[in-house]
Structure formats: structure tokens, C-alpha cells
Structure 1
């Protein structure tokens, strides 16, 4: 299983029943959406940009220079394809916590998110956590980068106190990059002052 262009896809080998060669099966994204596309490039075809394949639950035989995807839907999956999909890990879960301006103090209402994260983590053996801190655009970029790292580290420390294994967590600050709600510079926005935790 691999990810490309926003779509999850499985490259099935020659052994797939009913296929004379390898085929490609595109599925929904991990979050259930279907945006994205995949470029299939064969240097022998003289087309450096390749052919674009898109669409959830489409199967494409990788033969010839013009791949033609065919929609199969979930009901059209083969038993071995269903088995592969069934063996996939659950999709990532995302938890977002907000902060009081210019602090590492959680905003009212965000404490409950730690409890929800704790319950989810305990139900998901072997999971890893990516903790990412952000700020709004008030202040200089370097200051905000440091503040976002402090927010990520604060949450990581609290999770360790709750018994989360340190080795399964990473904490990164991204400052005012990747705003959840795009704003001009020097704009206070509580929705951008956050830590996002991705559980995989």
C-alpha cells in the first residue's frame, strides 16, 4: 500500500485473478474523502507527464500506454483485495487543542480533548503520536516558532504524566505556518493557536 497525489492505492501483482498483468486499485483517502489523482509514467511510452488516474474504487490494468480506469465500487472488490484492505491499520485520528493567547495554557474546553485522546490511544495498541504546535500571526515569526514548540512540548509532557510512552511521541513547532484560518499578519485568531495531535 502506498500514498500518492492524495489517494491511497494498492498495486496488485500479476497473481490477481482475471488480470493479464499488474493492476492498480485506487481507494478513498484515509479521511474518507476522494480528492487526488495518481500519475502513471512509463518511459517507453514517450509521455514524460504520464497518464492521470483518479476516482475512488477504480481498477486500472497497467498495460499499454493509455491506462483506462474502470469504476468497480466497494461491491466490485475481489476477495484478495478485500483481504488487503481489511489488513490496513485504522485511519489516523486527529485531536485539536486551543491555547490562550501568547501562552502554553489550554483554552477553556480543550482539557476534555486530552481525556478523549487518552481513551482513543488506549484502544489502539501500537499507535504513534505526532504532536504539532501552531500560533496565530501576532508577533514575530521566530518568536511564534519558539512558542509553538513550547506548546507542543507542553502537551507531550502532560501526556507523559498520563502514562503515554515517550518513545511513541514526537513534538514539533511550526509557528504561524499552516494557519487553520488564513489571516493577515498581526491578527489574533484563537483557531490558529493550537496543537494538533495525529494518532497513527
Structure 2
């Protein structure tokens, strides 16, 4: 099987695809992600939890039971293979007080460009952040300027980034994690999420 999927998404995908089923199967998630669990509510409100990989619960009117599967249906591989790839995140860091993309970060723009070229119709989200030095007003502005600068670069490559998809988040995250007036390059960044 090429990809795995959280059980809740699989159940939703099966419902959307119109798959008529009286069972729910918990498949392995993508590498690096927990598999999760699915609660099956039976007649009378009785709950059965499927929390093991490659396990299945019936959805019949009687009591549900969970059983392990020795072999998965080939249709699951077809279903999962037709899903879009997972979201991918990219990070561009900035020097203090600047919204100009540094020369050493241009390679990240190329990585984004390559990723977008393989995903026609992808959604692009661009969020700018700052560290916790300086005041709220200046950090709100510079985080938005950074996001807009990256969005403009992506537009120049021919990728549509809606104006409202480039946002500034200011220093709130940095202040919550580091405290006030702490310089940290890891927080002076733009995150680009490609879905």
C-alpha cells in the first residue's frame, strides 16, 4: 500500500465515496504519525473502539466486535492511492527587522516551486512570524510584510496565492514560548503550507 490514512479520514473518505459498508477498518497512518482510533457506536449507544492497525469493527445492529485482519482488501490500496498527497511545510527564516528574502533562503523557494509544480490546483498558505523583540505593531507589520514578500515570489513563479492566504501572525507564538524581548531566528520566519 502506498499511503496510510488516519482512521477518521478513511471513514469519511469511504462515506464520501459512497462505499456501502457495514464495517470500519483502521489502516496504518503515514510514517511519523500516530494511527489514532475510531469509536463505533452500536445499537443502544454501546461503544466499541478500534485502536489497532489493520483491525476492523462491524457496524451492524447487534453488538460490535473488533477483529484483526490478516490481509487487507485491494480496494483499500486503490482508495488510498487516489487521495492527494499530504500537506507539506516549508520554512524561510529572516534577519531581524527585514522582510527581504535572504540569499541563503532562495533554495527553499525553489523547493516550494518544485513541490507546487507536481500539485496542480494546490492550496498555498503563507504565514509570517517574528521573534518577541520589539512592539506588537511593528511585529504585526513585519510578519505580514514577510508573508506578502514570499507570496509575491510564488506568484512570480506563476502560482496563484490569494491575497487572504498571506497572513502575518506577529510575535504571539514567540512571546508565549520564549517570553518577551527574546531574539530567536527560528521565530523570524515564514511558513508555507502546500496542500
**Which of 130, 133, 137 pairs up with 2:128?**
133
1:33 and 2:30 are equivalent in the alignment:
no
Map 1:88-167 → 2, pairs under 5 A: 88-167=83-162
Q: What secondary structure does 1:109 align onto?
A: helix
Q: What secondary structure does 2:178 align onto?
A: coil
Aligned CA distance change for structure 1 residues 81 and 142 (closer, same or farther; 3 Å): same
Cα distance between partner residues in 2 of 1:51 and 1:144: 49
The corresponding residue for 1:10 is 11
Tell which deviates more after alignment, 36-45 or 75-84: 36-45
**Which of 59, 71, 95 pairs up with 1:62?**
59
Aligned CA distance change for structure 1 residues 139 and 26 (closer, same or farther; 3 Å): farther
Once the two structures are superposed, what CA deviation does each residue of 1:78-124 show, in whole Å capped at 9, x if it has no partner? 12211111110111121110011122023452111001111221122
Aligned CA distance change for structure 1 residues 168 and 184 (closer, same or farther; 3 Å): closer
Work out whether residues 27 and 35 of structure 2, in 8 Å CA contact, stay in contact via their aligned partners in 1: no
Normalising by structure 1, we get a TM-score of: 0.74
Structure 1 unmatched runs, 5+: none
Identify, as 1 or 2, the structure richer in helix. Answer: 2
Normalising by structure 2, we get a TM-score of: 0.75
Q: What secondary structure does 2:33 align onto?
A: coil
The corresponding residue for 2:24 is 23
Q: What secondary structure does 1:196 align onto?
A: strand
Once the two structures are superposed, what CA deviation does each residue of 1:26-64 show, in whole Å capped at 9, x if it has no partner? 4415x641164445556942x7xx655434444333346
Cα distance between partner residues in 2 of 1:168 and 1:58: 44
Cα distance between partner residues in 2 of 1:76 and 1:187: 54
